[in-house]
């Protein structure tokens, strides 16, 4: 009877850590993995910007890319209706506006 108690007591610590490991696994798949995908998509979108693209900044301004400077990672946007040109950091671009009729899914 004594050996059965020893085996049962030694198995309990491992079973106690199983819910914690499962919580970290669930957190990874629900939080961290989608965040990594979003960062990767944003990085690809910023790298693929070209003159003439219509973009939205983090501040909500919508404009067309006029020029880009790769040395200091800035770009110049033309904002309508007055065609005002503003200089932004490339990381300030939140999204690329797709033209009408374009497929939003890749």
pLDDT, tens digit, 9 for 90 and up, residues 50-90: 999 999 999 999 999 999 998 999 999 999 999 999 999 99
Instruction: Judge whether residue 103 has pLDDT over 70.
Output: no
Our CA angle for 75, 64, 47, nearest 5°, is 50
The angle formed by the CA atoms of residues 92, 36 and 43, to the nearest 5 degrees, is: 35
Q: What pLDDT score does 105 carry? A: 46
Cβ(89)–Cβ(49) below 8 Å: no
Q: How many CA atoms lie within 13 A of 93 on its CB side?
A: 30
Pair 75, 87: CB distance under 8 Å: yes
The residue with greater pLDDT, 59 or 7, is 59
Residue 10 in this model has a pLDDT that exceeds 60: no
0.75 exceeded by the pTM? no
pLDDT band at 16 (very low <50, low <70, confident <90, very high): confident
With tokens 């009877």, the residue in question is 1
């Amino acid at each position: 009877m004594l050996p059965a108690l020893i085996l049962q007591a030694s198995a309990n610590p491992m079973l106690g850590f199983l819910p914690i490991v499962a919580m970290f696994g669930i957190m990874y798949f629900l939080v961290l993995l989608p965040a990594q995908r979003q960062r990767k998509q944003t990085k690809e979108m910023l790298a693929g910007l070209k003159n003439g693209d219509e973009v939205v900044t983090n501040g909500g301004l919508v404009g067309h890319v006029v020029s880009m400077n790769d040395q200091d990672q800035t770009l110049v946007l033309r904002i309508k209706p007055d065609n005002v040109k503003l200089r932004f950091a490339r990381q300030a671009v939140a999204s690329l506006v797709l033209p009408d009729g374009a497929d939003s899914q890749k």
